[in-house]
A and B are shown apart, each in its own frame.
Chain A
Amino acid sequence: MPASWLVRLDDGLGYAEDLFLGVAHAIIAGLVIAAVFFRYVVSDPLVWSEEFIVIVFTWMLFIGLSSGFRARMHLRIDALLVVLPGRWRGFLGVLAVIATLVTLLCLAWFGTQLCMTMYRSPTPMMRISSAWAIAAVPAGAVLSCIHILRHAICDGLNRTLWPDDLIGAAEEEAV
């Protein structure tokens, strides 16, 4: 059954993403504080830190993009959805899922192209390939597509991008 390996893949990726997000956030917070310490206390600034932090931050945001799809957390405008009957909501769900998937696939494709173009261009401080940072864009987009597919297959198109209870979503955001 195709859905079962998709569920396993999606759960595995979801776990890895959560781990990555936590570690990336800890690295960012730790390095920002360490940079202050080294600049003012040791008087020996970590010149590479800002660039490295921004690269980790970029990865955190794009993995977070994907994780946001898994958690159905992306901000949307519910004004129309909450007043429409369920059948219509299902129809709009199809359109929204198609638009989202097409956009993400384009982002993955053109992000990969950008990576190839920038492959030989080094970053200003650490002199590593800029592709290390840009690769976050296609990676996040592809991972997002996998989560969307899983929700679409397992929960139906009208519950792929939004939780069943649109109002309950507000509480989830609050928690």
Chain B
Amino acid sequence: MLVLALVFALLVAVGTPVAIAMIASSGFVIWQEGIPLSLVAQRIFAGLQSFPLLAVPLFTLAGSLMNESGISERLFAFTRAIVGHIRGGLAQTAIIGNVFLSGISGSSIADTAATTRVLVPQLERSGYSRAFGAALSASAGTLGPIIPPSILMVLYAWQANVSLGALFIAGLIPGVVMAGAMATVIMILARIRNYPTSGAFRASVLWATFKRAIWALLMPVIIIVGFRLGAVTATEIAGIAALYSALIGIFVYRTLKWSSLPHILTTTARETAVILMIAGAASPFSWILGIEQAPQLVVQTLTAVSSEAWVILLILNVALLIVGMFVETIAVMIILVPILLPLLTTLQIDLVHFGIVLLVNLVIGQLTPPVGVLLFVSITIAKVTMGQILREVWPFFLGLIMALALITYLPGLSIWLPHVLGF
């Protein structure tokens, strides 16, 4: 196991793509043990032969089609009509808008990019600093993978063998808790910095913007109802979501052109391949970790520290936050979940609850340097420096840590709703 970890760490450190580093390190160990190397190719291939994983390209496609239809502008106009009139209202628009935007796209990167593009210029015109706008957009983007649909949830459900429907529903309340924490941060900042309101509340504007956004707002409803009815699989729901997005974009909003479809299909296919190749490469990697009894070692080490679930969750949270600072989100999840599963089962920690805790940790990791991908996206688009955004992002980081504590220690926030809805 030490050899596997060393070779992997070395390759990753020199900048080898994560998927290749996983294949190479597991291949090296298998070669050392004298096992035929075709096993590596066989396990990668078998790992990817999975119908549930097809939900990844299809949900990505649905999100991309909606994005291309200019849905983010419509959603932000609608949320501005709801909260714009309160102090700091335009900043609140970013948070509430992302609650809705996350219900369409499954990716925090896409959401942050859309929020930065649409809202930072508006925020700057209203007197907020550009760095604050960038920090706000990056923070609001963390809601993407927590509120369904979510690519990370598809991967976690596949790895931990839990119901994707239950996981999707479980993310709803924690998503709202995170949004609430960030909204509270804005309320405090708005009072201290005397942020402006943006216009009076007008029911007519609210109604007009609602009508323009309604078709997009219906998409999460379709997904959740689809899961609740249980007649179709997660992959089929993702397919229906993609079809719905295409039809709305082309025939209702008329902003999606037929000619842009080939490009969207190609880029989303490539993005999916890059993500899922890590999942495939993880298959021989976790096979070795399994036969070398790494999960049992984790159980023994951590249960020797404490047998209390809350202590272990605290340790895991701190460890995940630190790992998340340095390592890319999907890689952390794919490597760690198989190792942690036996520990969670031993301590009787609900796997759906842990899935949400893990994802919240990982999205917070996307907001911390040096590998905070959401910070990079936001500073690149908003054209501010890392130093400037870091000075503005920390209050949101603290808010999200408080939300993480609540989500970790009140499991009901995650598992109550799926339970009530019969998942």
Contact across chains for A76 and B17 when beta carbons are under 8 A apart? yes
Residues of A within 8 A of B251 (CB): none
- Measured between C-beta atoms, what is the minimum distance from A168 to chain B in Å? 6
The total of interchain contacts (Cβ-Cβ below 8 angstroms) comes to 223
Q: Whole-angstrom distance from the CB of B353 to the nearest CB of chain A?
A: 27
Is B265's CB within 8 Å of the partner chain A?
yes
Instruction: Flag whether A161 is at the interface (Cβ < 8 A).
Output: yes
Q: Are A57 and B54 in contact (CB under 8 A)?
A: yes
Complex CA distance for A173 and B126, rounded to whole angstroms: 29
Residue of B231, B266, B371 with most chain A CB atoms under a 10 A cut-off: B266
Give the residue among A33, A36, A133 with the most B Cβ atoms within 10 A. Answer: A36
Name which of B19, B274, B276, B380 has the most chain A CB atoms within 10 A of its CB.
B274
Q: Is the CB of B24 within 8 A of A103?
A: yes
In chain B, what residue has the closest Cβ to A53? Answer: B54
Task: Tell me which residues across on chain B come within 8 A of A114, comparing CB atoms.
Answer: 38, 41-42, 45
Which of B182-190, B211-219, B237-245 sits within the interface? B237-245
* Distance, CA A35 to CA B239, complexed state (A): 10
B49 near A133: Cβ-Cβ < 8 Å: yes
Q: Does B328 contact A (CB under 8 A)?
A: yes
Q: Measured between alpha carbons, how far is A161 from B53 in the docked complex, in Å?
A: 26
Instruction: Answer whether A161 and B15 are a contact pair too, CB < 8 Å, given A60-B273, A75-B278, A106-B27.
Output: yes
Q: Is the CB of A61 within 8 A of B58?
A: no
**Within 8 Å of chain B (Cβ to Cβ): is A83?**
yes
- With CB as the reference atom, state the residue of chain A lying closest to B111: A174
A-B contact pairs, 6 of them (CB 8 A): A29-B242, A32-B236, A62-B273, A68-B277, A75-B278, A107-B41
> Which residues of A have CB within 8 Å of B291?
none
Contacts of B15 in A (CB 8 A): 76-78, 80-81, 89, 92-93, 96, 161-162
- Contact indicator A21/B269 (Cβ below 8 Å): yes
Contact of A18 among B14, B48, B266, B328 (CB under 8 A): B266
A46 within 8 Å of B (CB atoms): no
Q: Which of A18-59 contact B (CB under 8 A)?
A: 18-19, 21-26, 28-29, 32-33, 35-36, 40, 50, 53-54, 57-58
Q: Does chain A have a CB within 8 A of B34?
A: no
For B274, give its contact among A32, A73, A100 (CB under 8 Å): A73
Mask: chain B, 31-74; 1 = CB below 8 Å from A; 0 = not: 00000011011101100111101100110010000000000000
Q: In the complex, given contacts A21-B266, A36-B232, A167-B376, what are 13 additional A-B residue pairs having Cβ atoms less than 8 angstroms apart?
A: A19-B266, A21-B273, A22-B265, A57-B48, A58-B48, A60-B57, A61-B272, A65-B274, A77-B12, A99-B14, A136-B45, A168-B380, A174-B380
> Interface size (A, Cβ < 8 Å)?
70
The answer, yes or no, to whether B268 is at the interface (CB within 8 Å) is yes
CA distance A152 to B330 in the complex (A): 27
A58 to B24, CA, bound (A): 20
Q: Mark B370-402, 1 if CB is under 8 A from A, else 0.
A: 110100110111000000000000000000000
Q: Is the interface of A mostly helix, strand, loop or mixed?
A: helix
Instruction: Establish whether residues A77 and B262, one from each chain, have CB atoms under 8 Å apart when the complex forms.
Output: no
A174–B232 Cα gap in the complex (Å)?
31
Contact string against A for B residues 95-133, beta-carbon threshold 8 Å, 1 for contact and 0 otherwise? 000000000000001101100000000000000000000
A28 and B58 contacting across the interface, CB-CB below 8 Å: yes
- Whole-angstrom distance between the alpha carbons of A1 and B404 in the complex? 59
How distant is the Cα of A113 from the Cα of B278 in the complex, in angstroms? 22
* B331 interface hit (Cβ, 8 Å): yes
**List of B residues within 8 angstroms of A75 by Cβ:** 17-19, 274-275, 278, 328, 330-331
Asked whether B16 is an interface residue with its Cβ less than 8 Å from the other chain, the reply is yes
Closest to A118 in B: B42
Q: A25-B57, A65-B273 are in contact. Are A58 and B377 (CB under 8 A)?
A: no
Q: What's the nearest-Cβ distance from chain A to residue B201, in Å?
A: 33
A174 neighbours in B (Cβ, 8 Å): 109-110, 112-113, 377, 380-381
CA distance A106 to B38 in the complex (A): 9
Of the listed residues B16, B49, B275, the one surrounded by the most CB atoms of chain A closer than 10 A to its CB is: B16
B266 A22 Cβ-Cβ under 8 A: yes
- Measured between beta carbons, the chain B residues less than 8 angstroms from A102 are 24
Give the distance in Å from the alpha carbon of A21 to the alpha carbon of B54 in the complex.
14
Cα of A95 to Cα of B24 in the assembled complex, Å: 13
List of A residues within 8 angstroms of B113 by Cβ: 171, 174-175
Q: 5 closest pairs, A vs B, by CB?
A: A64-B273, A32-B239, A74-B17, A170-B376, A174-B113
Check if B326 is an interface residue, CB within 8 A of chain A.
yes
Q: Which residue of A lies closest to B9 (CB)?
A: A77
Q: CB-defined interface of A126-148 with B at 8 Å, one 1/0 digit per residue?
A: 00000001101100000000000
Is residue B11 contacting chain A, with contact meaning CB distance below 8 A? Answer: yes
Return chain B residues, CB-CB under 8 Å to A81.
15
Residues B70-92 near A (CB distance < 8 A): none
Decide: B270 and A99 in contact? CB cutoff 8 A. no
Cβ contacts under 8 Å, B5 to chain A: none
- Verify A173–B109 contact, CB threshold 8 A: yes
- Interface positions of A from 78 to 100, Cβ below 8 Å from B: 78-83, 89, 92-93, 95-96, 99-100
- Residue contact B377 to A171, C-beta cutoff 8 Å: yes
